[in-house]
Amino acid sequence: MQSEEGAGSGTRALVVDVVPEDGATIVRVAGDVDAHSTAELDRRLADAADRDADLVVLEVSGVTFIDSTGLRTLVAANTRLADRGGRLVLRRPTATLQRLLEITGLDASFDVD
């Protein structure tokens, strides 16, 4: 289950892999999460939440860029799962993502693995 957006002239196209596992759904994200690509990530995260509302693990070590629109998508997914009694876990955030979470005060909102 993989989706890929168009090539980005030297930037990294978004790739989202959704892997159902026992007790959790793993969503692996790689590439640039920006205003153009984030709708796709939002859709895949919503699907994952529909499939497994208990635990969604968002593996983000392959994210090469993320902006505030991407952060909003993460917040929306976190809220969606929490409203259903579930959890979103960010796994292996890059230093850049971790820094942005701290700058915006969102680091306290996420479980980080």
Partner 1 sequence: MTDATEPEVTLSLPASHERVRLARLVAAGVAESVGFDLDEIEDLRIAVDELCVVLVDHGRASGLRISYRANGADLEIRGECRYVDDVAESIELPRLTRQILETVVDEHESGVDGDAGWFVVRKARDAAGT
Under rule CB under 8 A, which residues in 27-86 are in contact with partner 1? 32, 34-36, 65, 67-69, 71-72
Please choose, out of 9-17, 18-26, 42-50, 53-61, the segment that lies near partner 1 by the rule CB under 8 A. 9-17
Beta-sheet pairing, 15-21 with 24-33 = antiparallel
Contact track, partner 1, 86-105, x by CB under 8 A: ----------x---x--xxx
CB atoms within 10 A of CB 61: 13
d(CA 39, CA 85): 24
Determine whether 60 is exposed, middle or buried from the number of CB atoms within 10 Å of its CB (0-12, 13-18, 19+): buried
* C-beta of 68 vs 79, nearer to partner 1: 68
Binding site for partner 1 (CB under 8 A): 6, 8-11, 32, 34-36, 65, 67-69, 71-72, 96, 100, 103-105
